[in-house]
Amino acid sequence: MDQAGTLRSIVKKRGGPGSSENKSMDIKGELPGNEGNSPVQVIAVTSGKGGVGKTNVVANLGYALTRLNKRVLVLDADVGLANMDVILGLSPKYNLQHVLNGEKTISDVIISGPGGMKILPASSGVQELSDLSKAQKLCLLSELNSLYDETDVLLIDTSAGISSNVMYFNMAAQEILIVVSPEPTSITDAYAMMKVLFLKHSENHFRLLVNSARNAEEAREVFNNLSLVGQKFLNLSIDYWGYIMQDDHVAKAVRQQKALVERYPNSPASRCFSDLAKIVCENRPNTSSRGNISFFWEQIIENSDALPLEVSKI
Ligand X SMILES: Nc1ncnc2c1ncn2[C@@H]1O[C@H](COP(=O)(O)OP(=O)(O)OP(=O)(O)O)[C@@H](O)[C@H]1O
The binding site for Mg ion (CB under 5 A) comprises 54-55
Judged by beta carbon, residue 59 or residue 147, the one nearer ligand X is 59
Judged by beta carbon, residue 110 or residue 166, the one nearer ligand X is 166
Judged by beta carbon, residue 56 or residue 66, the one nearer ligand X is 56
Q: Which does 51 bind (CB under 5 to 8 A by kind): Mg ion, ligand X, none?
A: ligand X
Shortest distance (Å) from residue 242 CB to ligand X: 12
10 Å CB burial of residue 124 (0-12, 13-18, 19+) is: middle
Whole-Å CA distances, 156 to 98, 122, 123, 161: 19, 10, 11, 15
Cα gap 224→210, rounded to integer Å: 11
Q: Which of 167, 150, 233 is nearest to 201 (CA)?
A: 167
Is there a contact between 25 and 164 (Cβ–Cβ < 8 Å)?
yes
Shortest distance (Å) from residue 79 CB to Mg ion: 11
Judged by beta carbon, residue 54 or residue 207, the one nearer Mg ion is 54
Shortest distance (Å) from residue 45 CB to ligand X: 9
Shortest distance (Å) from residue 52 CB to ligand X: 5
DSSP 312: B
Burial 46-60 (b: 16+ CB within 10 A, else e): bbbbeebbbbbbbbb
Cα gap 24→163, rounded to integer Å: 7
Q: How far is CA 171 from the centre of its chain?
A: 11
| Footprint of ligand X (CB under 6 A) | 47, 50-56, 78, 160, 211-212, 244, 246-247, 250-251, 254, 269
Shortest distance (Å) from residue 23 CB to ligand X: 16
Judged by beta carbon, residue 49 or residue 54, the one nearer Mg ion is 54
